[in-house]
Structure 1
Amino acid sequence: MKIKVKVNNVGHGLCISLIHENGKVMLWDCGHNEDCRPSVFLPRSGISEIGIFFVTNYDEDHISDLPELRRKLHISTLHRNRSISKEQLISLKRQSGPISPAMQSMLDMLDMYNTPVKPPEFPSVTYSCYYNNYETDFVDSNNISLVTFLTCNGYKFIIPGDLEKPGWEKLL
């Protein structure tokens, strides 16, 4: 099976794409810089749908291209840390200033993607997700990052978001 996993150079943020030979796409975060925007490079590759979108961290550098991405591509399935409610996320983000357009787009998605759905099939690809619980484990955005354990054709990856050392200790 041909599977292309690419860590896209978006500077400080994160954006990882997996393009399966069957045309299905997984995307971890949608950080961007002027030279690399998932809302541009995915459509240029003929992609019009993201099968599974993982939000590893609720900070701007992980979701900065979300408004454009949602305008240009259909997102079928959303994986995120579900232990934080929309109201809690608003409160957490307002601690550092006003809600950005990217965060507002994320908040809008929380209303739309609130029922679990069966994700599209990715032969030879398996994944599982882990996250710390908001409030009972941590109250900051880094340590409630979504961690993905990904296996593609026998190769194993860990996509940790911005989980810090105290969070990693909970995994051991």
Structure 2
Amino acid sequence: PSEYNRSHNGLQTWLTQVEGYLNLNRHVYNTEALKISFALTYMTKGAVVSFTENYQNENKLLDGQIYYTDDFKTFVAWLKATFESGDQTTLAILCLSSIKQGKRELEAYITEFTGLVNKAQLKEESWEAGIFFEKGLNKEYRDWILNSGWALNTVLEWIRVAGEA
């Protein structure tokens, strides 16, 4: 199968590829946990990473091991509910949790970020948006801001101070 990229139209195609592969290799992927683990290995980009991390964290035992209790059909249903539902708020929050400035200009990052904040129905004054913004900033910007002594809470405060960097 190819890498899943969280597109609404591509989910069913991707699931068909995964299920076909699992069927051809049912002698290897003979438990529900192995099937789920296989699917998750093709979910490593963008907002899909957040889905994978959240799913694994929800199935983590106290000793740190991951133990999937869902069957594959339940996993697929959860996947469809997340990425096929058209719930733009949920998808925007997943995107916010994985967005990075990268090598682009600060203004481009701010523009994309604030668009996602609006889609996620978060207020620019919220501390949650501030945490996402900080997490996605380039290390140089983030370090400069954190070392400047500012006590920042909201995304608006982060954007203002980042513009001064």
Shorter-chain TM-score: what band? under 0.3
TM-score computed with the length of structure 2 as normaliser = 0.22
Instruction: State the TM-score, normalizing by the size of structure 1.
Output: 0.22
Q: Per residue, is there more strand in 1 or in 2?
A: 1
Higher-Rg member (1/2): 2
